[in-house]
Amino acid sequence: MHPPAPERHPYENQDPASMPHDMGYGCKMVDGVMHVYTTRNIMEKSTELELPYPDLQEYIADMNMMMALIINGPVKSFCYRRLQYLSSKFQMHILLNEMKELAEQKKVPHRDFYNIRKVDTHIHASSCMNQKHLLRFIKRSMKKYPKEIVHVERGKGQTLMEVFETMNLTAFDLSVDTLDMHAEVMADLEESKYQNVELRLSIYGRSRDEWDKLAQWAVTHQVYSSNVRWLVQVPRLFDVYHTKKQLCNFQEMLENIFAPLFEATVHPGSHPELHLFLQHVVGFDSVDDESKPEQHIFNLDSPLPVNWTEEHNPPYSYYLYYMYANMTVLNHLRRQRGFETLVLRPHCGEAGPIHHLVSGFMLSENISHGLLLRKAPVLQYLYYLAQIGIAMSPLSNNSLFLSYHRNPLPEYLSRGLVVSLSTDDPLQFHFTKEPLMEEYSIAAQVWKLSSCDMCELARNSVLMSGFSQGVKDFWLGPHHTKEGQESNDIRRTNVPDIRVAYRYETMCEELNLITQAIRTDEQETIREEGSLCMGAGQKEK
């Protein structure tokens, strides 16, 4: 169950000379996407490497096609009915098998909900601690470092002491992105042993050195735990930086985000800390308030990133496309070198327009929130069929967007969507030092989830997480990538085989239904065409 601990600290060897060699490639961003050339001198077009990425025109065409599909009346009612059927079918499954599931779980020695692996699939590093952690941290810092400059306002530094004097003591609006804080949270995680987190750290794309600074912070302070993987969140704040004259056009932002990653991949020794840090980064997140109005609809007439110099922000779909396109090129390159690749796991469908979920469907590995799928049957059915994971945070939703009782999580889960529970911002929403357990516990109470449901949620969280296949082999069993019952090892997951088999059979049935429908549709078209031809032929006679 426990993967072996690394023999050396993963950040120990920082010697650039011992890192993989410099490939000598050159990189240049063209129309918002990085291109790679076999020489540093990129004047010769012939030296460009073939690293394909999704074509812009195709993306827009597919997006429009999907937009038409999700508002098509007959398609909508078909999907709605399938989803209703999936709910009813699950109810039937529970009526028939609840006791059998429970019996299967009881037969497994040692394993219970407490000691199965869970991953908090959506949590922001800046608020990953709870209020008690933070309070303790601030009190300790006050004692130890009262003279430290912690805040700069209008060019003037303030010490921790002064901040507290000028502020009412009840407001703890300080930056807490400091070592001890995370160390404390990580220590708690390691102590609890079965809980893991995928923390979001920010890269803003305002300047070229952000990645190096972040990596230096992680490596210098050895901010690492085997219970933690990092996701990098990029806030969609181009309009703000543009207004402040920090960026001239959108391509500059993309270059700031991606150029250092390409450099560190081509020549790891040129960014040694970043090279090490990237081994623990599993992907990108895209964050901001989705309910902000969007001024622009992404289409073929939209300005290219280098020409995006307007005051307003590019739309969600635009951000996602350019992030994904660059990640695809980067991943080709990293895969060639045997380095870890990155996936896209944006915040999506928490609020705002429904088309965010269309872009999310087309480009994401999995998404966070997905609340609005409850209003979009076609998309919900597609997310089910494609088994795109959804990290849901009902406590966070409850304080921001949707009351707990109306949260669609239990409905999604019953239908077989890949749902996991996550905390989002423990500092705001949770009280204990085990916020993820709090999240599970409340969900179980409010929605009367069975022990089997809880273990299925936990298994989903591991499956959709960015932990390596090797680690997942230990947590879920060595066959977890296979299909159906065979993929499950109840001794590790505590999920009964009956449940896993039910999900698999149900999915096969849905896929069968659709392929069958396509086939009969094709046959009918052929028959129609045939009869038309015959009719025409007969007339000629």
Give the residue numbers annotated as catalytic, written as ranges: 369
Q: Which is nearer to Zn ion, 85 or 401 (CB)?
A: 401
Enumerate the H helices of 145-233 as residue ranges: 160-166, 179-192, 210-220
In whole angstroms, the minimum distance from the beta carbon of 457 to Zn ion comes to 18
Q: How far is the CB of 131 from Zn ion (least distance, A)?
A: 18
Q: Which of 491, 512, 487 is nearest to 501 (CA)?
A: 487
Q: How far is the CB of 232 from Zn ion (least distance, A)?
A: 13
Q: Which is nearer to Zn ion, 263 or 290 (CB)?
A: 290
Toward Zn ion, which CB reaches closer, 290 or 456? 290
Strand order in 389-392's β-sheet?
A: 347-348, 366-369, 389-392, 419-421
Nearer to Zn ion, 265 or 423 (CB): 423
Q: What is the pattern of x (binds Zn ion, CB under 5 A) and - over residues 392-431?
A: --------------------------------x-------
Interior angle at CA 162, CA 160 and CA 168, nearest 5: 95
Ramachandran angles phi, psi of 22, nearest 5°: -75, 125
Radius of gyration of the chain (CA): 26
* Closest C-alpha among 175, 169, 173, 280 to residue 223: 280
Question: 207 with 200: CB under 8 angstroms?
Answer: no
Token pair in block for residue 226:
């085997």
Residue 421: CB minimum distance to Zn ion, A? 13
Minimal distance in Å, beta carbon 222 to Zn ion? 26
Choose between 273 and 424: whose C-beta lies nearer to Zn ion.
424
- Token pair for 500: 């896993």
| Residue placing its CB nearer to Zn ion in the complex, 120 or 255 | 120
Q: Minimum distance between the CB of residue 346 and Zn ion, rounded to whole angstroms?
A: 10
CB of 488 to Zn ion, least distance (A): 30
- Residue 120 within binding range of Zn ion, rule CB under 5 A: no
Asked if 465 contacts 121 with a C-beta cutoff of 8 angstroms, the reply is yes
Q: Segment 427-486, which members bind Zn ion (CB under 5 A)? A: none
Question: Helix 316-336 to helix 56-70 angle, to the nearest 10 degrees?
Answer: 130
| C-alpha distances in Å from residue 500, one per residue of 239, 387, 440, 454, 475 | 46, 14, 20, 13, 16
Find out whether 462 and 476 touch, Cβ atoms under 8 Å: yes
- 73 Cβ contact list (under 8 Å, min separation 6): none
Which C-beta is closer to Zn ion: that of 11 or that of 429? 429
Task: Say which residues have a Cβ less than 8 Å from residue 318's Cβ, sequence separation at least 6.
Answer: 296, 298, 302
User: Strand pairing of 156-159 and 149-153?
Assistant: antiparallel
The residue at minimum Cβ distance from Zn ion is 424
The number of C-alpha atoms within 13 Å of 115 and in the hemisphere containing its C-beta is: 10
What the block records as the tokens of 54 is 């999704």
Classified as helix, coil or strand, 153 is strand
Q: Which residues bind Zn ion (CB under 5 A)?
A: 424
